[in-house]
Amino acid sequence: MGKRVDQRVIKALFLITILFLGINNVSAVQWDVGAGQLYTTIQSAIDNPNTVDDDIINVYSGTYTEDVTVNKKLTIQANSGDEVEIQATNTGFTVVNDTTGDGSGSTIDGFKINNSATGTGINISADNCTVKNNEISGGATGIAVSGADTTLVDNVITGQSETGILGNLTGGFFTVSGNTLSNIIGGTLANGITVSTNGSVTDLNITGNTFSNINALGVNGSVFVIQLGKSKGGDGNPEVANITNLIVTKNMISGIHSNIAIMGMELVTSSVNALITENELSDLEAGSGSSVYALEAAIIGNGTVVVAKNQISQVTADEQAVGIVAVALGDLKLNNNLVSGISNAKAAVGILGLGLFNNATLENNSVSDITSPSIAAGIVGTALQHLNMFYNTVMGVNGAQDVSMVTAGFNTTTINGNNLEGDGSGIGIVICSFNGTINYNRIVNFDSYIQNFLFSSFGPSIDEMLKPIDDAIKNHPELEPILKPIRDDLDKLFHELENSNTTATYNWYGTNSPDAAKFFEGNGTLNYYPWLVLNINADPSTINTGQSSTITADVYHDVEGSDHSADASLFFSGPQVTFTTNLGNVGSKSVAVQWASGLATAILRADEGPGIATVTAADYQTVKTMVTILGESGTSKSEVNAQTVGMQNTGIPLAGIVLAILMVFGGFISTRKKQ
């Protein structure tokens, strides 16, 4: 009997517990707004004393001419499937945390908001709000945020005269994902997303947004498509946005035009870690006297900065045009980026990576079609500690003065597996490093293959650069105790920079006999012997009609005969070897094959009857081999050893490139919008 009582007690307690929990989990109330509903305006539904935190304001089809203030924690939504339009006088929705109440935690979902000429679609000064699935058109600004922990998802923002999304964040996180911003047409300024911080933001995530047709039509017009860190004026450096973790990925930017300046992405933050990946930027064009930086990141934190898999194309400016500029205090990794089609500017650069205090690695990047009437550079890498340049491809850098790769690792520099091809003039690699190694690269069709850095080769000499200090000491002897130590320190530094010691063995130069005049040691040392040579081989060298032979070209042997095939993983890949044959086919009579780790392969098919096939492989240098093709009787056999043909010398020494790069970097920190 006692056992039965215990069971009844337990059941009673269980039911009481369920009842208690049910009482304390009252469902949110939905208040309906629209023709024939309890409320005819959104504001009246919010203001009703019976509407409390966590309630839902559900709005039916119609046009609502009102500016809505949200001062409770509410979900305000368009009824599913309905078209709900807000005609705003000043601001469509204002979400506040002030003396009238707290709208923190609110959601605005599914409205069409039409702004007045100077208005704002949604203005949020509360925290922890979500804005999603809205269409915001017209006005000066689409969405303004001055709170913390805000999420903006899948909104369409179009037709503003100043800014699509404006943030002055106080903390927490800020997520901007899947939004479409277009047709933002301004005078002096036109901005897609502009974010500054008024506090410490832990996480900022800008992902999967699309930007198009953003133009600044004024005489001094500037466009900032994605900007973190507010500019201080035309001649001032930008403020640093206080953001701990930064992710900017999978955004698409196209059709951006202005008269003076374009920043596709300007990311200036104090982030400990930054991930800037898989963004696509194209068709950025500015007018006379202009500068365009497609992707500019200056991350002033001590973590790792990754700039990877971004695609930049069709960048046009008058003064300076740069595909990617990445500056990091911590380790910098620039990987798998594709930059092409930078043109017109007096100084044009594909990629510039700068590791201010630590290491920088630029790997598997591709740069092509960088053209300038004056200065053109493909990839520029700099690191205070160790600089690694691995497996990059640079093609088609053309200017009155041009260089495919500039490298400055002030501790050590390692340059392996890069594929650099010029147009018969210009410089392949300029290196400034106390301890530089250049191995297993393809450096072809240049006037100068490798140059150690020397100031006088690229502009003023050291004495000329120090002359202003010397003149000041001469004219003001009383300043000598102050100026002389500075002058001596600079003199020592400049001379140290000129003492590059470079080991450049085992590279392929497009010729089996490179011209010594195409190597410049400056005030340091440059050892480029032994170099790699091109060979060809047929296996087998005798086949019957209808059979095939594998033809391989490789640069695995150096001029001394040593075999480097064991280091194949360190070799270059990419364009290209051309195979030809006079008998049979290698796909046709001629086929172009990409290098793959220093090796290229074609198949000779004996489909034209017996004879001697002369098969050639050409990468500027041409080598050949013979394949005997037998008929049914198999009566002839012949093998011919590979032969070589020298390469012509073209071009003249170039000058001015390093100062131009400094000019570009100077532009990076000075081309700013006016507020």
DSSP code string of 521-542: -TTSEEE--SPEEEEEEEESSE
pLDDT at site 494: 67
Distance of alpha carbon 28 from alpha carbon 75, whole angstroms: 10
Distances in Å between the Cα of 151 and the Cα atoms of 67, 124, 147, 377, 518 are 22, 11, 11, 40, 57
- Please give the angle made by the CA atoms of 537, 542 and 543, to the nearest 5 degrees: 115
The whole-number pLDDT of residue 455 equals 66
In this prediction, the residues of the chain whose per-residue pLDDT falls under 50 are 1-5, 9-25, 233-236, 633-675
pLDDT of 250-303, one tens digit each? 999 999 999 999 999 999 999 999 999 999 999 999 999 999 999 999 998 888
* Residue ranges with strand state E in 270-359: 273-277, 280-286, 291-299, 305-308, 311-316, 320-328, 332-335, 338-343, 347-355
pLDDT of 459: 55
3-state secondary structure of 235: coil
* Antiparallel, parallel or unpaired: β 120-124 and 91-95: parallel
- What pLDDT is recorded for position 630? 95
Give residue for tokens 């964040």: 169
| pLDDT, position 6 | 52
Instruction: Specify the pairing of strand 611-619 against strand 621-630.
Output: antiparallel
Burial label for 349, CB within 10 Å (0-12, 13-18, 19+), is buried
Burial category of 80 from C-beta neighbours within 10 Å (exposed 0-12, middle 13-18, buried 19 and up): exposed
pLDDT at position 204 is: 97
Residue 636 pLDDT: 41
Contact (CB, 8 A) for 190 and 183? no
- Looking at residue 465, what is its pLDDT? 64
Q: Residues 405, 396: contact at Cβ < 8 Å?
A: no
For residue 266, what are its two tokens?
């300007």
Per-residue model confidence (pLDDT) at position 440: 98
CA distance to 73, 172, 177, 271, 520, per residue, from 244 (Å): 28, 10, 19, 4, 45
Long-range Cβ contacts of 138-141 (<8 Å, 24+ apart): 138/114, 139/88, 139/115, 140/115, 141/165, 141/166
pLDDT at residue 201 in the model:
93
pTM (two decimals): 0.86
How distant, in Å, are the alpha carbons of 211, 234, 381, 457 from that of 291? 20, 12, 21, 27
Query: Looking at residue 28, what is its pLDDT?
Result: 83
What pLDDT is recorded for position 499? 77
The neighbouring-strand residues paired with 177 are 153, 207
Secondary structure of residue 246 in the 3-state scheme: strand
Q: Please report the sign of the dihedral spanned by the C-alpha atoms of residue 412, residue 414, residue 420, residue 425.
A: positive
